[in-house]
Amino acid sequence: MLIEFVSLQDSSVSIPQAQIIQQLNKAKILHQQNKIEEAESTYQNLLTVSPDNEDILFPLAQLYLQTARIEDASDILKRLCIQVPNKVHYCDLLANTYAQLKKFDQACNCYLSFLQNNSGTANTFFNYAYFLKSAGQYEEAIAQYKNALKHNIAQPEEIYVNMAVIYSDNLHLVNKAIEALETAINIKPEFVPAIYNLASIYEERGDKDLACRYYQEILAIIPNDPKVQARLAENKTFTNSNSDLARSIKANLSNKFLDTESKIDLNFALGKIHNDSKEYDTAFDYYQKANQLSAAHAPQYNRIGQEQNTSDNIKLFGKDWFENAPVQTDESPIFICGMFRSGSTLTEQILAAHPAITPGGELDIIPSLVAENLNSYPNSMSEITKGELEKFSGTYLSQVKKLFPDAIKITDKRPDNFLYLGLVKTLFPKAKIIYTSRNPVDNCLSVYFLQLAREMNYATDLDDVAHYYSQHRRLMAHWKSLFPETIYEVNYEDLVQAPKQSISSLLDFLDLEWNDACLKFHKLTNPVKTASIWQVRQPIYQSSTGRWKNYQKQVNSIQWLLNNKY
């Protein structure tokens, strides 16, 4: 049913109201008939007559949203928010368009403006908090979630889960995260997201028994939950591939209605179970199946593109670039980088045992700076200004300080930051880079056995992993040639063979005195949010060195890495 105007704005062009209503109804009919261009033209013509009319602006905004013209939709919604500042629906829509455009600060400003002129509802505060978190304003996000609770939001257990995520992942206040999750469970005892997150936190803290207890609680609520079965497999050590959990997982895999993501989880889990049980051929078969399923739902790895990216880095960031770099600072942040599964987590955990070091974990500050400001990196760096570089360095330092206000030295352990060392060394010439390396075949096999994020699409094919490894080594050779004094390589095999000697040299590189606690790193209870979580909860061990020999026939195609420079 078509809705007529309640009122019309005055206009310098005098057209009878009945005629405007007729044209608006025509536009709506055209819109319903999917005659988008004609409908848009009619709406726009009406706006020349009545430019601030809500009844014209809103259907036009809907048209733009339905046709994915997000920029155009945001322009119209901005006008609606100005003309009708008390309608939160327009605020919600505008904030969502900004979010789609990755303009999270502007999404937050929508709610800030609305709340300055209107009283908010519980849902308004919830939405505001959600976008504040996306914008990196974590403390304010917590404050707005609390406002939502004060306004008696429905399903408050969900709010406590969201707060716990911020406390754990962003503010590094793990005890507050646990408190929030326990509150959620008190409100709703069988609230699985809260139980799952609580299990994950105890897993990250190294408490296997408590983690498994909570995972088992979930299975009592949702029997055969694939993700929980996979986590249990990761948290246990198996000597028998015919265990109750293994049989349960295999039965679950036979379910023809099982979704692909669950099949991936369970095949990785069975790979781990059979690997633990020393049934290596069967283990590889499951890992291969998991990766084949993953590859079918991810973009294909582009070898030529990766080679070009490496070449572009080497070409742009040469000796001349750094001699003429405009930013000069005495700040010397510490970065730990290299291939995933190369020992970076172990290295950071060893350093975390030193009283002068605070482990930052996998901070996404540098990758986010690149993604948000430097399209087509590294080539976009050729036109960078001194002002932009100073802004980037200030942003990095302020964000780290905000996360770790009392830290003396912080480690930024984001393995793939090796791709951005040109930017890092431009911003911070005195930055210290710890490069972790490992036997290349062991490293590639370990990556292949790990369920990585979809964007790391090289990980689903062993030959692609080897290619990516060779390009990483080619790029690191370039950085090491430019910065021999400020890049220190920690080799995993050397570390496990002679830990004290390796750790002592590493501490010397960082201008730190020896501390015996670094040999007892496995006793730390700080959260570890990587796949190496259990490996750093025990003393240095050698069982992961030479692992590839258990899979000699499967890794035959990548053994060239052992003798190849790149």
DSSP 11-29: -SS---HHHHHHHHHHHHH
Decide: 94 and 126 in contact? Cβ < 8 Å: no
pLDDT at 125: 97
Mean pLDDT of 293-317: 96
Q: Predicted confidence band at 44 (pLDDT cuts at 50, 70, 90)?
A: very high
How far is Cα 324 from Cα 71, in angstroms, rounded to an integer? 39
Query: Per-residue pLDDT for 87 more than 80?
Result: yes
Rounded to an integer, what distance in angstroms lies between the CA atom of residue 532 and that of residue 450? Answer: 10
546: left (phi over 0), alpha (psi -120 to 50) or beta: left
β-strand 487-491 against 334-338: which pairing, if any?
A: unpaired
Distance of CA 566 to the CA centre of its chain: 29
Beta 357-359 vs 409-413: how paired, if at all?
parallel
Q: For tokens 């409100």, name the residue.
A: 187
Query: In the predicted model, is pLDDT for residue 537 greater than 90?
Result: no
Q: What is the pLDDT of residue 49?
A: 87
Percent of the chain scored above 90 by pLDDT?
A: 82
Question: Could you read off the pLDDT of 417-471 as tens digits, one per residue?
Answer: 999 999 999 999 999 999 999 999 999 999 999 999 888 999 999 999 999 999 9
Q: For 212-217, what is the mean pLDDT? A: 97
What are the structure tokens assigned to 396, written together? 């990095």
Q: Which residues pair with 490 in a beta bridge?
A: 436
pLDDT value, residue 379:
96
- Give strand pairing partners of 433: 335, 487
Does pTM top 0.85 for this prediction? no
Task: State yes or no: pLDDT of 541 exceeds 80.
Answer: no
Percent above pLDDT 70 for the chain: 92
Between 540 and 160, the more confident residue is 160
Q: For residues 396 and 368, is the Cβ–Cβ distance under 8 A?
A: no
Q: What is the pLDDT of residues 163-201, one digit of tens each?
A: 999 999 988 899 999 999 999 999 999 999 999 999 999
Average pLDDT over residues 13-41: 85
Give the pLDDT of residue 11.
Answer: 37
Quick one: average pLDDT of 543-552? 81
Nearest-angstrom CA–CA distance, 450 and 443 = 11
Task: Indicate the average pLDDT of the chain.
Answer: 91
- How many Å apart are CA 198 and CA 175, to the nearest integer? 11
Q: Where does the pLDDT of residue 523 fall: very low under 50, low under 70, confident under 90, or very high at 90 and above? A: low
Q: Which residues have C-beta within 8 Å of that of residue 291, sequence separation ≥ 6?
A: 448, 459, 460, 461
Place of tokens 């084949």: 292
What pLDDT is attached to residue 226?
Answer: 97
pLDDT in the model for residue 495 = 93
